[in-house]
Amino acid sequence: MDICIYFQVHQPLRLKRIYSIYKIKDPYEDYFDHELNKKILKKVAEKCYFPTNSLLLELADKHDFKFSFSITGVFIEQCKRYYPEVLDSFIELARHKNVSILSETYYHSLSSLFPSKIEFMQQIKEHKEIMAKYGISTTSAFRNTELIFSNEIASTVESLDHTVILGEGIENLLGWRSPNYLYHINKTKHIKAMLRNYRLSDDIGYRFSAKWWSEYPLTADKYASWLASTSGDTINLFMDYETFGEHHWQDTGIFDFLKKLPEEVNKYKHLSFNHPHKIAEKHRAHDTIDAHYPISWADLERDVSAWLGNDMQRECFRAVQEIETEVKDTYDKYLIHIWRLLQTSDHLYYLSTKSLSDQDVHNYFSHYDSPFEAFINYMNIINHFKGLLNGKR
């Protein structure tokens, strides 16, 4: 059985709190809170990126440990501006023979939900170009923003020569079937779906340091035994990279767990680590799945309500969509880039007004005092941006 591990690496370019649109002179400098972004990147780099990159490089060499990354263009852009050493560290890791880089959108956007898929396809191309600029090739495996997945999205991704798309292995998509197999996707021809085993993924990503959990503490040998007793062709473990050192701090033992995991897994002869595009070549599709509506890995609903669940979010999404033609008709690369940065899904994530634990997560990541402040701020910026476009006419 193949073990597929993928880490999502992303930091949004957070917006500055705009108190007066009349003081804005340069959108890139005045829309985005560069001091805050730099501060957060530095904090996460010291707690997560540097130590985890170093450890993974060691494990890739010592244990033939194979794993994959999705690294957004927005993240690379921030590293280049604020902390080049972080970028150098990822480039060194990405070029290792045991590391594969997934294809995705440059901007970690919701462009896959636009009625026209042209913008979505352009952002995938732009991501491929930024990776190539640093000598890194993306594979034929595709990971959409927050694993947003549907038949229509898979069909578009297939048209760009991808062989496999990653998704969430939830029951309302799979029914009685297991996420530990590959699947054909309705209304596509050849592309396969690899679905996250969310229980085993969340055992690390969410429950690792939870002292209330019946399996606490989680050790590498225990976890490897769970993998070994699981049936199927592939176990897909997808998680945020900040799991290591940021979401679970070093003193929880998360780095010791990661360090020992490859050795423990390798004790089982029927288990091996592999990359998504290689797994798609190796295994046949087990059955056909049908995703009429977009699903994701976010919140309890596992749909797109994390970004489009209330009227404020839908209004912001409509506002940024409706100026697509106007922006592109300027042929101004700078303005197009700003518009795409405003599409980053995190801007809408901060507008969530859910309840209980889901909203706690939204609030944890937000730099605003409330979703309503986030809405007003975003719309102020969009309206200012529209004014710039009017000046281009």
Residue the block writes with tokens 């969509």 = 321
Q: Of 320, 318, 326, 322, which is closest to residue 341 (Cα–Cα)?
A: 320
Which residues participate in catalysis according to the annotation? Answer: 146
**Please, which residues have CB within 8 angstroms of residue 30's CB and are 6 or more apart in sequence?**
16, 18, 23, 24
String of b and e for 171-202 (b: at least 16 CB within 10 Å)? eebbeeebbbbbbbbeebeebbbbbbbbebbb
- State the CB neighbour count (10 A cutoff) for residue 85: 10
Q: Is residue 19 classed as helix, strand or coil in its secondary structure?
A: coil
**Please, which residues have CB within 8 angstroms of residue 46's CB and are 6 or more apart in sequence?**
none
What does the alpha-carbon distance between residue 220 and residue 211 come to, in Å, rounded to a whole number?
Answer: 17
Q: Is residue 101 classed as helix, strand or coil in its secondary structure?
A: strand
Indicate left, alpha or beta for 70 from its phi (over 0: left) and psi (-120 to 50: alpha).
beta
CA 341 centroid distance within chain: 15
Indicate left, alpha or beta for 342 from its phi (over 0: left) and psi (-120 to 50: alpha).
alpha
Task: Output DSSP code: residue 245.
Answer: T
Task: Output DSSP code: residue 309.
Answer: S
What one-letter code names the amino acid at 219?
T
What one-letter code names the amino acid at 339?
W
Task: Indicate the angle between helix axes 50-63 and 254-265, nearest 10 degrees.
Answer: 20
